[in-house]
Amino acid sequence: MNFGIYVEMQNPEQNNKPHAQVYQEIMEQIEHADKRGFSTFNTLEHHWFEEFSISANPMALYAAAAQRTKDIRFRTCSHVLPLHNPMVFAGQVAVTDILTEGRFEFAVGRGHAWVFPKASIPLEESRERFIESLEILEKALEEKEFSYQGKHFNVQNVKVVPRPTKKPRIFTGGASNHNYELAGKKGWGVLITPMLPLEHVMGQLDIYRKSCKEHGNTPDIVYVQAMYLDDDGERARKEAEPYILQFMKGNVSPMSDLPSKEELVNKDFGFYASGALESLAEIPYHKLLNDEYVWVGSPDEVKEKVTKVIEKCPDLSEIALLCSYAGIEHWKTIRTQDLFSQQIMPAFQKEKEKVLVP
């Protein structure tokens, strides 16, 4: 079992951290995770909404972090393709692959409904732009020269340079069943977001497995889980409460910038009109713990939760820890990384080694 690190880089106004400080702390957390044996560092691409995320250029972050690390891989969860010119984006992917020495992989997505008005992109164009951008990106990474004719992009004899050392590993995820069908068809991995317990996405994982089977591909599932660790479980649960609640609040904070529910439904963003996302911020802290939206406690308590998830999801290839919340002190994130890597990871890695021994 592989274990990674995931951060959203939330920075609410009351946090009062300069943006440069947030980035410096994240860089130190990546270096620390590399030394502690974590397999991946994951973040997202997001713009304009500080309480949600200030991760506007993850590929620049990876290129910088790669110069200070040896083994850890870098993964974006995910790049919002409709915001990009796909021919330009393909070249940026190639540069990131080169500068990270092949340690870069990424997920692709249509993006949250709230980003498009800020980007001056009509909501109703987002799915078309996503589909065309994805088709162009795949051509750019696989073919030395290509042409493409679509509604939004029409290019002839494009040669994207530089060339990547190899085609990066690709993922998708999100709330759409279509994404899980697409991932199974194309042989991509899927990412389970850190807002929901595993039971809430089992139906979509079944869709993914079925699609993988139909197209001869092997499931590859990464489960992102928010957690907070302390040697003392009760102290952990007490300390974690403000950070966990702000994390949930930050994830729904951009909803106030959305158009009417009727417009969202008519323009293919029905999920954002359903009220499902806002309801997450209203869940009481004790329910977040009891229903395992978040894992908070001692290493022994969390080790049991890891075991249960692995048993319930046999196609799981990685669990990524979200342990850096808006406003949390830097040293507390480092503590969770330390406790997890020293007291939880070795047990599962030893089990894997025993299985591999003839």
For the beta carbon of residue 348, count every other beta carbon within 10 angstroms: 17
Sign of CA dihedral 245, 248, 250, 254: negative
Does residue 35 have a pLDDT over 90? yes
Does residue 354 have a pLDDT over 60? no
For the beta carbon of residue 16, count every other beta carbon within 10 angstroms: 9
pLDDT the model gives residue 350: 63
pLDDT (tens digit per residue) in 148-199: 999 999 999 999 999 999 888 899 987 778 889 999 999 999 998 887 888 8
Of the listed ranges 20-29, 129-138, 267-276, 322-331, the least confidently predicted one is 267-276
Domain at 336, CATH number: 3.20.20.30
Of the listed ranges 41-55, 278-292, 342-356, the least confidently predicted one is 342-356
Give yes or no for a contact between 209 and 315, defined as CB atoms under 8 angstroms apart: yes
Residue ranges of the alpha helices (H) in the chain? 19-35, 58-66, 86-99, 115-118, 126-142, 177-186, 202-214, 233-252, 261-266, 276-280, 285-290, 299-312, 330-343, 345-356
Sign of CA dihedral 205, 206, 210, 211: negative
State the Cα–Cα distance between residues 312 and 247, nearest whole angstrom: 26
Task: Give the residue from 179, 191, 160, 178 showing the smallest Cα distance to 6.
Answer: 191
pLDDT the model gives residue 184: 95
Q: How many domains does the chain have?
A: 1
pLDDT (tens digit per residue) in 206-251: 999 999 999 999 999 999 999 999 999 999 999 999 999 999 999 9
State the Cα–Cα distance between residues 153 and 85, nearest whole angstrom: 9
State the Cα–Cα distance between residues 5 and 14, nearest whole angstrom: 25
Q: What does the block give as tokens for 249?
A: 């609040």
Share of the chain above pLDDT 70, in %: 97
Helix (H, G, I), strand (E, B) or coil at 70: coil
Q: Pick the most confident of 160-169, 171-180, 259-268, 296-305.
A: 296-305
Instruction: Tell me the residue range of the domain where 72 lies.
Output: 2-356
State the Cα–Cα distance between residues 127 and 150, nearest whole angstrom: 13
Beta strands in 150-246 (DSSP E): 154-158, 170-173, 189-192, 221-229
For residue 270, the 8-state DSSP code is G
Interval 128-140 mean pLDDT: 95
State the Cα–Cα distance between residues 233 and 299, nearest whole angstrom: 8
State the Cα–Cα distance between residues 190 and 342, nearest whole angstrom: 27
pLDDT (tens digit per residue) in 54-64: 999 999 999 99
Interval 136-153 mean pLDDT: 95
